[in-house]
């Protein structure tokens, strides 16, 4: 089976009701990213950081995968689909996708502040001060904050996949955050046909082989219908 790599960003989950970061009304308009999503912010005010992620987690539990997520699951009939996501939500998992690499962590998990190898599932939506790992240290959200390095294994796999696949889709990302923003460029450099889906043009739109200016919840079911003609 041919290999399809999908790089997804916050726009993928927008139609599930989750806010993106950099658009008008996005999260980084309301919150100071350094206050709620950086090691410095955590040192300064843990309570604020925990509250920010608790709110995101609560909304996620009320959200459902949308037609875009489901379309990517259906694409597994045609391709070996690998999803490389910047999203910390679990909507690709809940939709039923088989191969998912999280570059920026997972909000429904907590990690020990003393030993990063200790990672736990969070029951419900609350992670609070006083929630400790088995070694007695405070737990933090298992996400990558600004100024932190990405987890090595998924990043290495994503780099390799981007240069070694048959088709590359970039969906719902502003392509402003590295290193994820470089992955479509690696694919293009390797002569891999690259399609972008985004209602707003980005720096990738001009260089992609095809730019579909549309919401992912509309574009993916359409793309799927096109492919079914070749079944």
Q: Footprint of ligand APR on residues 105-134 (CB under 6 A)?
A: none
Interface of this chain with ligand APR, residues 123 to 182, rule: CB under 6 A: 171-174, 176-177
Cβ closer to ligand APR: 194 or 202? 202
CB 170, CB 194: distance < 8 Å: yes
Q: Residue 124 or residue 201: which is nearer to ligand APR going by CB?
A: 201
Active site residue 69: no
Residue 215 in the binding site for ligand APR (CB under 6 A): yes
Question: Of residues 69, 92, 102, 104, which has the active-site annotation?
Answer: 104
Q: What is the arrangement of strands in the sheet containing 105-112, beginning at the earlier edge strand?
A: 119-121, 105-112, 139-143
Residue 224 CB contacts under 8 Å (≥ 6 apart), including other chains: 71, 74, 75
Site map (CB under 6 A) of ligand APR, residues 56-95, x = contact: ------------------------------x---------
Kindly state whether residue 188 participates in binding ligand APR, applying the rule CB under 6 A.
Answer: no
Binding mask 24-53 for ligand APR (x = CB under 6 A): --x---------------------------
Residue 9 engages ligand APR in binding (rule: CB under 6 A) = yes
Residue 185 binding ligand APR, by CB under 6 A: no
Any idea which residues carry the catalytic annotation? 104
Give the residues lining the site for ligand APR (CB under 6 A): 9-11, 14-15, 20-23, 26, 86, 104, 171-174, 176-177, 197-200, 202, 215-217
């Amino acid at each position: 089976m041919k290999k399809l790599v999908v790089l997804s960003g916050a726009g993928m989950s927008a139609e599930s009701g989750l806010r993106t970061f950099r658009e008008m009304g996005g999260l980084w308009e309301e919150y100071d990213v350094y206050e709620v999503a950086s090691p410095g912010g955590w040192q300064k005010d843990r309570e604020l950081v925990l509250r920010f992620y608790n709110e995101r987690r609560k909304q996620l539990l009320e959200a459902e995968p949308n037609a875009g997520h489901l379309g990517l699951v259906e694409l597994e009939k045609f391709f070996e689909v690998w999803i490389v996501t910047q999203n910390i939500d679990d909507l690709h998992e809940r939709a039923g996708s088989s191969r998912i690499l999280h570059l920026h962590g997972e909000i429904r998990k907590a990690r020990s502040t003393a030993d990063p190898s200790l990672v736990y599932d969070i029951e419900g939506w609350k992670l609070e001060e006083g929630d400790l790992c088995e070694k007695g240290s405070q737990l933090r959200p298992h996400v990558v904050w600004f100024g932190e390095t990405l987890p090595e294994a998924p990043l290495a796999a994503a780099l390799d996949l981007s240069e070694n696949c048959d088709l590359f889709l970039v969906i719902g990302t502003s392509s402003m955050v590295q290193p994820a923003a470089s992955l479509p460029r690696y694919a293009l450099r390797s002569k891999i046909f690259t399609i972008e889906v985004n209602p707003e043009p980005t720096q990738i739109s001009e260089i992609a082989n095809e730019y579909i200016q549309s919401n992912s919840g509309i574009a993916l079911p359409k793309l799927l219908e096109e492919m079914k003609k070749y079944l």
